[in-house]
A and B are shown apart, each in its own frame.
Chain A
Amino acid sequence: MMQPFSEHQGLVAPLDRVNVDTDQMIPKQFCKLLTREGYGRLLFYDWRYLDGEKPNPDFVLNHLRYQGASILLGRANLGCGSSREHAAWGVLDYGFRVVIAPSFADIFYNNCFKNGILPVQLSDAQVDELFRRTYAKEGYRLRVDLERQTISDDNGLVYNFEIDPFRKYALQKGLDEIGLTLEHEAKIAAFEKQRNPQAPLFDPARVDLKIFDSTTK
């Protein structure tokens, strides 16, 4: 069940790269697993580990000062590429509750909300400032208040951010969207029925797979 989100305070880790794609977050070989859990260890696998899963000292998340980070600061078009939700599962399981970037790819942005991760979109200038502050001060932390839609630090920085009201509400409540949709079952059924006269257009033709399989061999 999705963990509700109201407020969060945490250490910021900077990922100073544009167009970070979901293939980097969770490489393909781990998309063969059958669970939603356990992807934190695999997050940014190819960047994070050298051969034999030895931590790569050059990768930012391996730096001592960013251990225990729970806010990921990124660059434009974060999470582009593949729709794999494994990327969001990895981000969450690693310990991130908030991701901040000037822009997000649509599917990853969506997947964050489905998993109780708050993606915060700020301007380029604001993100630049956050990178500056994160680099400048070891142990740089941010406070994220979803109700007020603000992020702030201990040195007087306060940024407001925009978020769709429904997404905000769903995140605050940890809503089960499927349950919500199922409340409209009567409407869904009515929608299907109303389309029945045009059934040939909307329902697939009935095909005997066995016959079909053999005819196309």
Chain B
Amino acid sequence: MAEARTLYEKIWAAHVVHEEPGKPALLYIDRHLIHEGTSPQAFAGLKAAKRKVRRPDLTFAVMDHSVPTKNRHLPVLDATAMGQFEALARNCAETGVRLFDMHSANQGIVHIIGPELGITQPGLTIVCGDSHTSTHGAFGALAFGIGTSEVEHVLATQCLLQFKSKTLLVRVEGTRPKGVTAKDLILAIIGKIGVAGGTGHVIEYGGEAVRALSMEGRMTMCNMSIEAGARAGMVAPDETTFAYIEGRPFTPRGKDFQTAVDFWKTLPSDPGAKYDEEVVLRAEEIAPQVTWGTNPGMVTNVTGRVPDPESFADPVDREAATRALQYMGLKPGTAIQDIPLDYVFIGSCTNSRIEDLRAAARVVAGKHIAKSLKAALVVPGSRVVKAQAEKEGLDKIFADAGFEWRDAGCSMCIGMNDDILPAGQRCASTSNRNFEGRQGKGGRTHLVSPVMAAAAAIAGHFVDVRDRHWNVDGVE
């Protein structure tokens, strides 16, 4: 009987092209996603060395990081951003890589369109010059972010030199309470294991509460694996996965699809497979989460308070918390629900899929954002999501509630376009990073779920979305 293997070990073993003792393995890459931000130097390097793109058919390009989210029909005024777009278009044209440019009906955030187009499938190795590539692991793929030198390596060879990671199983057992979403699960996990808790590891998420999640919810969780330090996060593929994939453009069709499903069913970890580490959480014990500091591990329950830096035992943590509170303009002991907001951002590769928008729309339907807010943005993750939302009338619900309805892109998660959080302003954001200056220099980010962001927009401050009057039934 063969040794029991984890999902990660199975995918790893199936992709080793070459191995020598004492050296990293040469790993085959099935899908390479590229965008305008981290690819130009890779193409330039390739050209300088007179090398070719080995498999343009396995490479997919999209414009997402710097694209404007309004008036896209007008010329882009940001000359440096335009330089990126032109470089990507030229590089793709010269090498035969398929590009979804900013006018494509399929344009969107790279980690939204990969799954949406069926480029992302179980058992594949997927890389992208973007740390949130971990998102694609939700399908039972091995997906991780790489640097630009590695982007160039994959373009040239369709392979990467990789050291094998350790494995960490995070089980969330039990049933999620109403109003507690996938975002709250992953924030609670990061709060528990810390922002470096997953370093050197690939995380596999399991347990009843994870199995019960939709693909959208699983993607939200895997997306933020990197915020726990893990390059990749994974969920074993199951019927939920297969149902999501079937019929998408780049997926196998007809009889091939059945062959694929039969193969995908062999991927989940074998009974008795061993992980290097294991962490267990109970879903019932998890409350809606809100970050108070400048990394995603600085997080607490919505019913909690801003902690006192003096309460941290480690002097380094105490110093970090002091600095974080200073940056965030918060006083120790302030109730999370008493923190007033200036901006709300619903978007990013973490939470801008159709389910996220539906959940947020249900919360705001028939209501209006607080007068104290300066702006509230809804930025769909892709143009397909946007079109679907418009078909369902969600754009109208958001607009009536006082939200701005925008075109697809990374937007205010990273602020590489005009969607920048001004200095000193406080934002409830469904994105993934609350780092200093992430949404804009001096901007203050609180990471939350889409329903929390929606409810906070109405109230003007954080609220407990589990309270009866918020419409949060069945959210992921």
Do A46 and B437 have beta carbons less than 8 Å apart?
Answer: yes
Q: Which of B38, B231, B251, B256 contacts A84, CB < 8 Å? A: B38
Q: Which of A28, A82, A178 contacts B51, CB < 8 Å? A: A178
For window 1-59 of B, CB contacts with A under 8 Å fall at 17-18, 22-24, 26, 28, 30-31, 37-38, 40-41, 44-45, 49, 51, 54, 57-58
Do B30 and A105 have beta carbons less than 8 Å apart?
Answer: no
Q: Tell whether A17 is near chain B: CB-to-CB under 8 Å.
A: yes
Do B199 and A77 have beta carbons less than 8 Å apart?
Answer: yes
Q: How far is the CB of B36 from chain A (nearest CB, A)?
A: 8
Q: How far is the CB of A17 from chain B (nearest CB, A)?
A: 7
Which stretch in A32-40, A52-60, A152-160 binds the other chain? Answer: A32-40
Do B416 and A184 have beta carbons less than 8 Å apart?
Answer: no
Closest residue of chain A to B99 (Cβ to Cβ) is A209
A212 to B323, CA, bound (A): 50
Do A34 and B87 have beta carbons less than 8 Å apart?
Answer: yes
Do A83 and B146 have beta carbons less than 8 Å apart?
Answer: yes
Q: Which of B38, B119, B124, B259 contacts A200, CB < 8 Å? A: B259
Q: How far is the CB of A42 from chain B (nearest CB, A)?
A: 13
Q: Tell whether B173 is near chain A: CB-to-CB under 8 Å.
A: no
Contacts of B40 in A (CB 8 A): 34
For window 99-146 of A, CB contacts with B under 8 Å fall at 103, 105-107, 110-111, 114-115
Do B38 and A201 have beta carbons less than 8 Å apart?
Answer: no
Do B263 and A201 have beta carbons less than 8 Å apart?
Answer: yes
Q: Tell whether A98 is near chain B: CB-to-CB under 8 Å.
A: no
A 38-66 binary contact with B (CB < 8 Å = 1; else 0): 00000000100000000000000000000
Contacts of B287 in A (CB 8 A): none
Q: How far is the CB of B283 from chain A (nearest CB, A)?
A: 27
Q: How far is the CB of A69 from chain B (nearest CB, A)?
A: 21
Q: Tell whether A172 is near chain B: CB-to-CB under 8 Å.
A: no
A212 to B129, CA, bound (A): 26
Q: How far is the CB of B78 from chain A (nearest CB, A)?
A: 8
Contacts of B93 in A (CB 8 A): none
Contacts of A27 in B (CB 8 A): 437, 441
Do B84 and A76 have beta carbons less than 8 Å apart?
Answer: no
Do B435 and A24 have beta carbons less than 8 Å apart?
Answer: yes
Contacts of B24 in A (CB 8 A): 166
For window 125-158 of B, CB contacts with A under 8 Å fall at 129-131, 133, 145-150, 152-153, 156-158
Do A181 and B157 have beta carbons less than 8 Å apart?
Answer: yes
Q: Which of B104, B146, B263 contacts A213, CB < 8 Å? A: B104
Q: How far is the CB of A80 from chain B (nearest CB, A)?
A: 6
The contact size tier of chain B is 35 or more
Do A201 and B150 have beta carbons less than 8 Å apart?
Answer: no
Q: How far is the CB of A211 from chain B (nearest CB, A)?
A: 10
Contacts of A192 in B (CB 8 A): 28, 158
Do B259 and A75 have beta carbons less than 8 Å apart?
Answer: no
Q: A184-B26, A207-B249 are in contact. Are A201 and B57 (CB under 8 A)?
A: no
A 3-31 binary contact with B (CB < 8 Å = 1; else 0): 00000000000001111010110011101
Do A202 and B30 have beta carbons less than 8 Å apart?
Answer: yes
Do B22 and A107 have beta carbons less than 8 Å apart?
Answer: no
Q: A77-B195, A107-B231, A201-B260 are in contact. Are A207 and B250 (CB under 8 A)?
A: yes
A207 to B263, CA, bound (A): 22
For window 155-214 of A, CB contacts with B under 8 Å fall at 164-166, 177-178, 180-182, 184, 187-188, 191-192, 198, 200-205, 207, 209, 212-214
Q: Tell whether B453 is near chain A: CB-to-CB under 8 Å.
A: no
Q: Tell whether B450 is near chain A: CB-to-CB under 8 Å.
A: no
Q: Tell whether A95 is near chain B: CB-to-CB under 8 Å.
A: no
Q: Tell whether B163 is near chain A: CB-to-CB under 8 Å.
A: yes
A181 to B28, CA, bound (A): 11
Do A106 and B199 have beta carbons less than 8 Å apart?
Answer: yes
Contacts of B119 in A (CB 8 A): 204
Do A178 and B41 have beta carbons less than 8 Å apart?
Answer: no
Contacts of B37 in A (CB 8 A): 31-32, 84
Q: Tell whether B200 is near chain A: CB-to-CB under 8 Å.
A: yes
A18 to B41, CA, bound (A): 30
Q: Tell whether B238 is near chain A: CB-to-CB under 8 Å.
A: no
Q: Which of A33, A106, A202 contacts B200, CB < 8 Å? A: A106
Q: Tell whether B414 is near chain A: CB-to-CB under 8 Å.
A: yes
Q: How far is the CB of B376 from chain A (nearest CB, A)?
A: 22
A216 to B118, CA, bound (A): 14
Q: A36-B41, A88-B147, A187-B17 are in contact. Are A177 and B131 (CB under 8 A)?
A: no
Q: Tell whether B105 is near chain A: CB-to-CB under 8 Å.
A: yes
Contacts of B323 in A (CB 8 A): 17
Do A184 and B17 have beta carbons less than 8 Å apart?
Answer: yes
Q: Which of B26, B54, B98, B131 contacts A107, CB < 8 Å? A: B131
Contacts of A103 in B (CB 8 A): 196, 199
Closest residue of chain A to B122 (Cβ to Cβ) is A201
Contacts of B23 in A (CB 8 A): 166
Q: A23-B438, A77-B229, A201-B259 are in contact. Are A32 and B316 (CB under 8 A)?
A: no
Do B84 and A34 have beta carbons less than 8 Å apart?
Answer: yes
Q: How far is the CB of B150 from chain A (nearest CB, A)?
A: 7
Do A81 and B249 have beta carbons less than 8 Å apart?
Answer: no
Q: Tell whether A148 is near chain B: CB-to-CB under 8 Å.
A: no
Do B249 and A205 have beta carbons less than 8 Å apart?
Answer: yes
Q: Which of A76, A188, A202 contacts B316, CB < 8 Å? A: A76
Q: How far is the CB of A38 from chain B (nearest CB, A)?
A: 12
Closest residue of chain A to B250 (Cβ to Cβ) is A204
Q: How far is the CB of A194 from chain B (nearest CB, A)?
A: 10
Q: How far is the CB of B423 from chain A (nearest CB, A)?
A: 10
Query: Can you report 13 A-B residue pairs in the complex whose CB atoms are below 8 A from each other?
Result: A18-B316, A27-B437, A28-B416, A81-B131, A106-B231, A107-B145, A115-B149, A177-B153, A184-B26, A188-B28, A203-B58, A205-B118, A205-B250
| Further pairs besides A107-B146, A180-B161, A182-B156: 12, Cβ < 8 Å | A19-B295, A80-B195, A81-B131, A84-B38, A178-B49, A181-B153, A181-B161, A198-B263, A205-B118, A213-B105, A216-B106, A216-B387
Interface residues of A (CB under 8 A from B): 16-19, 21, 23-24, 27-29, 31-36, 46, 75-77, 80-85, 88, 103, 105-107, 110-111, 114-115, 164-166, 177-178, 180-182, 184, 187-188, 191-192, 198, 200-205, 207, 209, 212-214, 216-217
